[in-house]
Each structure stands twice: as structure tokens, then as C-alpha cells.
């Protein structure tokens, strides 16, 4: 592999290593849409991306650096915002 090809391959892997899959949701059913949008905007501004918006709950899935999630979590207590790792759940052991 040529050096330039190696560098491109290495850079392609970095975002996946630094990003964390998580679900951001609000337990308070009266959470204003503007508050949820602010959380999305802050995550995107810090290098994250929204991967899914849920319709059954007030929440969304993200791939974002820990720093982005920590920043949003620090101010997100007003409407009982929760951030949990996005992982496969099963009822089987």
C-alpha cells in the first residue's frame, strides 16, 4: 500500500474509533421541541451525527464523541434527559 493510501485508510477508521453510539431521550413528556433541537445541534456542532429520530419517545440515536455527549448531558438535566449506550437488547441469556 502506498503511503497516501495508508493515510486515507487510517483516517477513515479514526471517526469510528472516536464515536460512540448512544440513545438520547427525555423522560419528561413536556420537553419542548426546541430543547430537543438544542441537544441535536450541540451534538452535531461537536462532531456527532444524528442517526435516527424516534417517533414513539422523545429521543434520538447518535454517533458522537464522548465530549459531545458529556457536554449535552451537563446541561440536559432540566427535562430528565438520559443518554445510554446504544446496544442490542435481548430477553435471552
Contact predicate 62/50, CB 8 Å: yes
The architecture that CATH gives domain 19-85 is 2-Layer Sandwich (3.30)
Q: Cell 427535562 belongs to which residue?
A: 79
9-32 pLDDT, tens per residue? 444 444 444 689 999 999 998 999
Q: Cell 449506550 belongs to which residue?
A: 85
30-78 pLDDT, tens per residue? 999 999 999 999 999 999 999 999 999 999 999 999 999 999 998 888 8
Q: H or E stretch including 19?
A: strand 19-26
- pTM of structure: 0.75
Question: Is the pLDDT score of 83 beyond 60?
Answer: yes
Amino acid at each position: 500500500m502506498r503511503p497516501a493510501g495508508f493515510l486515507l485508510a487510517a483516517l477513515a477508521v479514526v471517526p469510528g474509533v472516536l464515536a460512540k453510539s448512544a440513545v438520547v431521550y427525555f423522560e419528561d413528556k413536556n420537553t419542548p421541541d426546541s430543547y430537543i433541537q438544542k441537544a441535536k445541534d450541540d451534538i452535531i456542532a461537536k462532531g456527532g451525527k444524528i442517526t435516527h429520530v424516534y417517533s414513539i419517545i422523545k429521543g434520538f440515536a447518535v454517533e458522537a464523541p464522548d465530549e459531545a455527549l458529556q457536554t449535552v448531558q451537563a446541561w440536559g438535566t432540566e427535562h430528565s434527559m438520559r443518554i445510554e449506550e446504544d446496544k442490542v437488547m435481548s430477553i435471552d441469556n
